[in-house]
Chain A
Amino acid sequence: MERLTGAGVSPGAGYGPAYAMAGEVPEPAAGSTHGGDPVAETARAEAAADRVAAGLSALGEAVGGPARDVLAAQAMMARDPELSAEIAGLIDAGTAAERAVYEAFLRFRERCSQAGGVVADRVADLDDVRDRVIAELCGLPRPGLPEGADRPYVLVARDLAPADTATLTRDVVAAFVTEQGGPTSHTAILARAMGVPAVVACAGATAIAGGAMVLVDGTTGEVTIEPSPAEAEAALAAGTGRAAASPASAVAPGATADGHPVALLANIGGPQDLAAALEHGAEGVGLYRTEFLFLDRAEPPGEDEQVAAYRQVLTAFPGGEVVVRVLDAGADKPLAFLPAPGTEPNPALGERGVRLLRILPDVMLGQLRALARAAEGTSATVRAMAPMVASAAEADWFAANCRAAGLASGVMIEVPAAALRAAELARVVDYFSVGTNDLAQYLFAADRQVAALTGFQDPWQPALLDLVAAAAGAGVRCGVCGEAGSDPALGCVLAGLGVSSLSMAAPALPWVRAALARHTLAQCRAAADAARAESTPKAARAAALAHLPALDPPDR
């Protein structure tokens, strides 16, 4: 038995046989020359770079999410005109394509390393592109991952590139261990997103023999090679999620250190997401997006089919809270069985959400009936929720329909007017849920889809926090169901603003639970006040963190 220590960046315990990712592509021999046709040799190098770029772009499109941006940037690196010029120059001087690629990348690598900071972090991306181009030129397979492994393995590597890991799932990887990397490395981000334990900056990791049984504690950063079976079993039993290391157990309801409850709920698209929600200790569902039942269908699903889908979700959370958002359609999300929407110049500002439901109420009424039937005989607290509500009149209309069906009613707070007049809306509905992504889009008049405007989508924007505070202070239960709540520090701030529940993608729940459990409500309130007193998102986050001492470095 041998122990290594690194930085735990994704909590939980993982155990499995080590799979060592093959090292780098070998360095092409210095001084190697080509046959004397620089034009053909340059064309060969460019064709290889183009194939690599195309492969990276395609992979990025296929996996989506944050990996897409990284892979797109890597594809741009492969096609970089300055790099191509360096390669062509070296080939003109007689150097073989493989060696020219190696040397040209090395020059840019040195410039990036010198710049330090953020740029130095991209050096691993650059190295990965270089290895791919050289492998392509030599006809070598790029070192890949084992396929068809019969049990989840512990992936051990010097460092991992996004392209290596983009297609991994937790069914095949029990844990990650890398010799390099930090809390913001791709490995760390990916592992947290997957809910898989990870230890980075672990000296000696690459010496772990392939096939050796390895136990990884992503909370303490400890990596044990060939532990006793009893030790492995105990660690696995103790470590489900980051909560293992926190005062709260994985299944404890969300609460601050001094016992102020903050319900921790999952965002789901249907029964298929229940397993992950339960596994991460969700107490209920804060946002059930019912659109998925309706997409790609010529006819709306019948009531019986809906009852079955809803009941499956409700019975998973006995005594819990389940918020079901009724159909949210619009010109940008057309449905075959609704009349074709007119062409709108600006669908985000058009006839959508509750506006469309008021024109075409039949589908919604069917949903409410199905939901009421599904709730019969279950102990979950069911709330129907309307999207895109802008006025008390709309809220009132929806609430009346819910009452008629025997259901509690809620509204999404995603239009600034609804947040500003929250007190008025609170008189007619039982529940608010703040959709931070859309609220930010409408608050800043900044389209979510426009890349150049992403700064406005930063959930730490003080103006956004002001609107959340307005909604949370209106006197009815108020949840947050945007991804804002999945940032542990922001989760504490939202609790401090008076939010009563946080709903998010399930893998983030243990993090937020642990962050809440380590701070008192007074600390959360102080963090919220400090954040709102600032004028930029960055300053707001820094000011809040000054009041949240227990947050680990990876959260900062």
Chain B
Amino acid sequence: MNGVVHRLWPVPVLVALWEAGARAAASTYFPPPSAIAARLRELWFSGPPSRLFLSDQALQDFLPSLARMFGGWAIACAAGIALGVAVGRSSALAGYVDPIVEFGRAIPPPTLIPLFVVLFKVDVRMQVATIVYGVIWPVLVNSIDGARYVDRQHTETAQVFGLSRAQRLTRIILPAAAPKIFAGLRLSLSLALILMVVSELAGSATSGIGYELLYAQQNFDLPGMWGTIALLGVLGLLLNSSFLLVERRTLSWHRRARQTN
């Protein structure tokens, strides 16, 4: 607890400086943090304490956004890991697929949004498709890498003791590749947040955090815009730290094994 206090003391100082600076400048474009906080509360956080102060509006905005984000991310993770492990375990297949992967990940995902709009029409499917396309690459590339470089002694041990194909996959290859795969999953989670916002800003979304951002812009609601941006920052921080927590627990063997060697 002491460590957290010690680490985070600059936060209130910076907020206070920002508040003083913004009040002194008195610009419409740069509202003070107190005004932003008040607007945020009004927008989303006036609900009952039992619901973490989330208002109905907050549920209406956050849930669809998060559902699309996690949905797209989950699809990309499943597809990326399955494809990546298959490609990583076969050097022939990898030769055929590598250039396609290199090129596919170089295409900026937002450039495909107009295409997805034509292909899928339905808003949600377009948004999920954008997220899937944008976030699958880190998972795929890391899974290929992780599965490709499984220690040969591990696979030979599995062969000598006659493990079946399924056992080799679930007991040896996936755990051995897990540290790499997790790194890809974490990177793609932060990309999923970005693409969630992009797809909501680009499409004609009718709900969601990106939609609220556009709505605030149209109404010249600057505290609302600053608030939404801050909210996205907090959301990104939360996503990353909770994923790190899961990663640390799942891969504790990896961290501790490396410390002892």
**A and B held together in a complex:** no
Interface residues of A (CB under 8 A from B): none
